[in-house]
Amino acid sequence: MKLAFSTLGVPGLSVPDVLALATAHGYHGVELRAHPEEPVHPGLSAAERADTAALFKAAGVELLGLGGYTRVAAPGDDAPVLDELRRLLQLAHDLGAPFLRVFPGADPDLPAEESDAVAARRLGSAAEDAAALGVRILLETHDSHRTGADLIRVLGPVGHRQVGALWDVAHTWLGGEQPQDSYAALAPHLGYVQVKDIASADDTSPLPLGAGVLPLTECVDVLCRHGWDGWLCWEYEKRWYESAAPLPDLLDAGRDHLVRLLGEAA
């Protein structure tokens, strides 16, 4: 498996500095947070996009994907959601990113089947755009759809190869789903896996990998047992927890922890 980290752990850091961290600490790739407060967002010019792609190529680091914030199950008209999706897909294509992450974001006061249908309709509409651009949309286990069982209610009806799943191991655990069940649900759709660690269900402040309660050993084990050979991306949510330790100081130990888990599971 290949290892990456998300720029959510180093908010606002320039792309050259992010790439320097990846190369210095032995990570194969980076997931870029796509947001106006970050160096990479849909407002970049064509030249800026080309320059960013060139930086990745020169550094020998892969751009794993873009972390977008489109909420595909949110109530309201489809048009603004689809417009945002298409802008992000174009950005991912221009930068050379194979994946675009999106969120569910359903209204908890609406019937689940209604929100599922909205999300499936929008993702189905965007799937051909994604295919034309060579980018795969990944719906993350998150917020209203925390588990693999939740996600397949949307992904099943979409039924398109360019729409898949991003397994955030924290959310499936918080949703009460066992790793083997998450994998069984998501395996046909799985793009990559976000790993992290937290102290408890009540304290989700980011911790160094292996220092918390998340079943990382079990998650890596089930992936290895089934021969899955994709990406593990460390999402350290420093952006939301200012008191958390700086990610650069933890990158070596985090890489070593994941390598150890992979070795034990082999």
CA-nearest of 68, 60, 59, 57 to 31 is 68
Average pLDDT over all residues of the chain = 97
> Is a pLDDT exceeding 90 seen at residue 184?
yes
Give me the mean pLDDT over the 203-226 stretch: 97
The whole-number pLDDT of residue 86 equals 98
CB contact at 8 A, 234 and 5: yes
**Nearest-angstrom CA–CA distance, 107 and 75:** 7
> Is a pLDDT exceeding 80 seen at residue 195?
yes
Long-range contacts of 198-203 (CB under 8 A, 24+ apart): 198/170, 201/174
CB contact at 8 A, 232 and 27: no
Indicate yes or no: pTM above 0.95.
yes
CB contact at 8 A, 200 and 167: no
Task: Summarize pLDDT for 67-102 with one digit per residue, the tens.
Answer: 999 999 999 999 999 999 999 999 999 999 999 999
Per-domain residue ranges of the chain: 2-265
> Is a pLDDT exceeding 90 seen at residue 64?
yes
> Is a pLDDT exceeding 80 seen at residue 58?
yes
Q: Letter for the amino acid at 66?
A: L
> Is a pLDDT exceeding 90 seen at residue 266?
no
The whole-number pLDDT of residue 253 equals 98
CATH 3.30.70.270 fits 2-265, yes or no: no
Task: Summarize pLDDT for 12-52 with one digit per residue, the tens.
Answer: 999 999 999 999 999 999 999 999 999 999 999 999 999 99
The whole-number pLDDT of residue 31 equals 98
**Nearest-angstrom CA–CA distance, 127 and 66:** 16
Helix H segments across the chain?
A: 15-25, 46-59, 78-95, 112-133, 148-158, 169-174, 179-186, 216-225, 251-265
CA-nearest of 171, 194, 172 to 182 is 172
Task: Summarize pLDDT for 98-155 with one digit per residue, the tens.
Answer: 999 999 999 999 999 999 999 999 999 999 999 999 999 999 999 999 999 999 999 9
pLDDT > 70: what percent of the chain?
A: 100
Confidence of residue 194 (pLDDT cuts 50, 70, 90): very high
The whole-number pLDDT of residue 172 equals 98
The whole-number pLDDT of residue 265 equals 85
Q: Between helices 216-225 and 179-186, what is the axis angle to 10°? A: 40
Task: Summarize pLDDT for 233-261 with one digit per residue, the tens.
Answer: 999 999 999 999 999 999 999 999 999 99
CB contact at 8 A, 238 and 206: yes
In the 8-state DSSP scheme, what is residue 47? Answer: H
